[in-house]
Amino acid sequence: MQVTGTPKRTYWLEHAWLGDGVDQGVERGVALDVHDGRITAVRTGVTVPPPGAVSLRGLTLPGLANAHSHAFHRALRGTAQTGTGGAGTPESFWAWRDVMYAVADRLTPERYLALARAVYAEMALAGITAVGEFHYVHHAPGGTPYADPNAMGEALIEAAAEAGIRITLLDTCYLSAGFGQPPDARQARFSDGTAEAWAERCALLKERDHARIGAAVHSVRAVPADQLVTVARWAEERRAPLHVHLSEQPAENDACLRAHGRTPARLLADHGVLGPRTTGVHNTHLTEEDIALLGGSGTGTCMCPTTERDLADGIGPAAALQRAGSPLSLGSDSHAVIDLFEEARAMELNERLRTRVRGHWTAAALLRAATADGHAALGWDDAGTLAPGARADFTTVALDSVRTAGAPPRLGAETAVFAATAADVRHTVVGGRHIVRDGQHQLVPDVPQALARAVEALRG
């Protein structure tokens, strides 16, 4: 996706959210001047579109950042809702994982390109301008590397380019099936054997205008403790984002305590993994000490409420983590739905259910998690705001749909977070380039059909 060298252009925004996560900041009549993929000026009080400007009716927000994605999980939507695990036994996360492994086994670089392109196009239709792809399907089935050892990662980078969005490829180290256990046959294609071999392969990946390269520890059960430092050092040397699945399931916590006598968060802290460029994904089952460790180190938290409820993970202590100093971001993870508005409101509504108290976050604070803080978690610190010098990535939500009609525009932030869905996105602009126009993707003509074909190709 080439965004440098794009022509000068002015976008006129009927309404724009210019807030910083504290102030509401909805302005009527805003002109954004854009050149070379960046916002060069923000002019308020522009009551009518300037000559030649592109008009965006509705509420324009900074582009949304999907900080946690497994693109191939999109193929499971609707197919992993079988009710019970058999004989009346409730289904668990671990049973769902078996279905996921079967899909992963049928991926090839070509199939993954087709699927991820369609998934990322669906994200663009939902107002998402950047994705953090937590990528661990590295090799061919059985574990044999492809001729290009990064063929799968390159497919994801190309898919993002063809769908018109930015990507941070969080190349994931995945070495074991559990504490002291080698990867099983289903996990063989995830593993490089050692963290050193993982680092050597990752070093071959190159950043592009639309793509950043980050690192990930799949989980403390999947990377032996003595190899965590290798992954952390690789990210530190490159000042790259580092993400990790953390305390998603109580069973993982219990196994970690048995193996190491400490919680996963403490284990990561003791091996240099935590810090301000690190994001823990889920952070669901934490002790008070864990929360203090994460907050005190500036480690971020990526909440994925629609997946966490779909997999019956539980409700994480997001409010306590933020109070402790952990910045919040949002992800759609397994893509039960792709809708960052739903993720944002679910975080607040989950906390209401847990505490029976309303109003833990303002709409503006939730939008900040979905925009600026999400981009920062992915290494795009210059995106996620409508301000001069920022990347020209933004999205427009209709204020006249059956979901959003009626509220005054000054409450646009509240309307977006607590009423809108991805279906209300009308425009998405990335690097000044109009990727979604009037609800239609400009690069992938028929996204539903592209998704259907790509998912069908993965059916056994």
Task: Give the residue numbers annotated as catalytic, written as ranges.
Answer: 282, 333
**Looking at residue 460, what is its pLDDT?**
66
Taking the whole predicted model, whether its pTM rises above 0.75 is answered as: yes
Q: Tell me how far apart the terminal alpha carbons of the chain are, to the nearest angstrom.
A: 33
Q: What are the E-state strand segments in 322-361?
A: 328-330
Lowest-confidence pick of 15-24, 303-312, 369-378? 15-24
Query: Maximum Cα–Cα distance for the chain, whole Å?
Result: 68
**Looking at residue 368, what is its pLDDT?**
97
Give residues with Cβ within 8 angstroms of 254, minimum separation 6. Answer: none
**Looking at residue 84, what is its pLDDT?**
47
**Looking at residue 92, what is its pLDDT?**
60
Per-residue DSSP letter, 286 = -
Residue 98 is which amino acid?
D
Query: Does pLDDT of 249 surpass 60?
Result: yes
Q: 3-state class of 333 per DSSP? A: strand
Taking only the tens place, the pLDDT of each residue in 151-194 is 999 999 999 999 999 999 999 999 999 999 999 999 999 999 99
Tokens of 78: 């609707």
Separation of alpha carbons 169 and 238, rounded Å: 14
Query: Does pLDDT of 128 surpass 60?
Result: yes
448: how many CB neighbours lie within 10 A of its CB? Answer: 11
Q: What is the mean pLDDT of the chain?
A: 94
pLDDT band at 258 (very low <50, low <70, confident <90, very high): very high
What is 414-430 written as a DSSP string? HHHHHT--GGGEEEEEE
Tell me how far the alpha carbon of residue 77 is from its chain's centroid.
Answer: 17
**Looking at residue 264, what is its pLDDT?**
98
Tokens of 269: 């802290």
Taking only the tens place, the pLDDT of each residue in 200-237 is 999 999 999 999 999 999 999 999 999 999 999 999 99
Spatial CA neighbour of 251 closest among 81, 80, 73, 97: 97
Separation of alpha carbons 67 and 123, rounded Å: 12
Give residues with Cβ within 8 angstroms of 324, minimum separation 6. Answer: 291, 292, 294, 295, 296
Taking only the tens place, the pLDDT of each residue in 379-420 is 999 999 999 999 999 999 999 999 999 999 999 999 999 999
Angle formed by the axes of helices 363-370 and 340-355, to 10°? 130
**Looking at residue 94, what is its pLDDT?**
58
